[in-house]
Amino acid sequence: MDQQGQREQQFIGQSQQFNEQINNIKTQFFSALDDFTKYYVYFNKNPEVNEFQNFYANSKSQLQTISRQLFSTTNNIDKMIEELDNQVSSISIKLKGEEELYKKLIELSENINNTQDGSQILIDDSKKKYNDQYYQNIQIFVGMIIGIILLVKLFKKPIPTK
């Protein structure tokens, strides 16, 4: 597994861990809140009873502990989000660079294809000119032979007949 895949698995594991922590805090909070509400009423009605004072203090400290746990978990989640945001920003910058490179490569590929098409056209034109010149040379050669034969026949001394 590559480094990116390991990071993804790490983030998934941490997000599951955060989810479990939040669910634990959620379940603890409601029972602690019920205890705090009950002992708050008992304590305020009977402040002289030490047992209610102790229960009230314990439930208050339990709520404060849960609050600290929630703050710590929230803070860790915020740090994780910042880290993910930095990584996404880094990937985004790399992606923009790759997009620019892709555009340049596409343009270069089109230029190469255009050059190849242009060179094929030049080759075809050269072949056509060559063939035209070849046929013209043959016509000139045949014309010269016919001309020479005609000249020879015209200027040839007639053989006297007896």
pLDDT at 1: 53
pLDDT at 162: 62
Following DSSP, what letter does each residue of 127-148 receive, concatenated? HHHHHHHHHHHHHHHHHHHHHH
Would you say residue 151 lies in a domain? no
Per-residue pLDDT of the chain (162 residues; tens, 9 = 90+): 577 777 778 777 888 888 898 888 888 888 888 888 888 888 888 888 888 888 888 999 999 999 999 899 999 989 988 988 998 899 999 999 999 999 999 988 888 888 887 788 888 889 999 999 999 999 999 999 999 999 888 887 767 676
The total number of structural domains that make up the chain: 1
Would you say residue 140 lies in a domain? no
Would you say residue 1 lies in a domain? no
Contact 94, 21 (CB under 8 A): no
Would you say residue 42 lies in a domain? yes
Following DSSP, what letter does each residue of 3-24 receive, concatenated? HHHHHHHHHHHHHHHHHHHHHH
Would you say residue 154 lies in a domain? no
What is the residue range of 52's domain?
Answer: 9-126
- Collect all residues with Cβ–Cβ distance below 8 Å to 53 and sequence separation of at least 6: 43, 47
Q: Indicate the length of the chain as a whole number.
A: 162
What span, in angstroms and rounded, lies between the C-alpha atoms of 56 and 37?
A: 9
pLDDT at 56: 86
Q: In the chain, which ranges are continuous DSSP H helix?
A: 3-45, 50-155
